[in-house]
Structure 1
Amino acid sequence: MKKALILGLAISLAISCSKSESSSIPDHNDITVTSTPEPVVKKDSIGDLTKNIDEGKALIEGADCLTCHKSEEKLIGPSYLDIAGKYENNPANVDLLAEKIIAGGSGVWGSIPMSAHPGMSKENAKKMVTYILSLKN
């Protein structure tokens, strides 16, 4: 039973991560943000932080993240609320988690690895993390 579940998850992950011309799921390389580059958090403006949070949410909704994650409950990977609860919202953790999105990883939340997203820019990954960590409050 356990082997069948793991096999099913592996097949689902492989299908969700494969790129097909007929697929309606956008590839990370197809995601663009039309705003000018700016830091994740500007100390002089709450509006900029809100903009980055909104852009991060839109990036997540347009990527394959929701295949494995949900906002409030564990799916294949941890929920965004669990991630926000584990990591303090600071620049070091934003960088750390952005790198994990790009490079992938395993072991922190269990044995199922998170696939790498090498085509994603660090700026977009930071916006995604900013959104996730904003859910703590």
Structure 2
Amino acid sequence: MKFVTSFKIGQVVSNNDIVSEFKVGNMGGMRRSLTTGTLVIIADHTKSLYDDKYYNQEIHYTGMGKYGDQVLKSQNRTLAESNTNGVEVHLFEVFEPKKYTYQGIVKLVDEPYQEVQKDENKIPRKVWIFPLKKIQYIEEK
């Protein structure tokens, strides 16, 4: 059974709304819910630690981990395996602090890859990047 959210694409919600709707924790950019079978990912463009970028209609989302090289464990692994593990991935973007814009369900459309970005202490490290597309873009093609 797939989780059905009451949020509409483009709707701006609060962090508390996300916690209540998806039954996830209230912190972090990747939040897994065993209750709803979802992974909520948040691309916060107001913070400089993670360098999430768009290439055409794909968002290349940076994995979790603030210090040192990121590894494919925990939610990074969940996202890497999301096409086969049954977890539905929902994307929110932040363009203004505390305002989360729901972007809908996303799907991993290519293999995750690594690149070098600076960590919380400004030290270069390897991060995992996940190429994702919004489901409605996939269905249009």
Structure 2 length as normaliser, TM-score? 0.29
Whichever of the two has the greater Rg, that structure is: 1
Q: Which has the higher strand share?
A: 2
Structure 1 length as normaliser, TM-score? 0.29
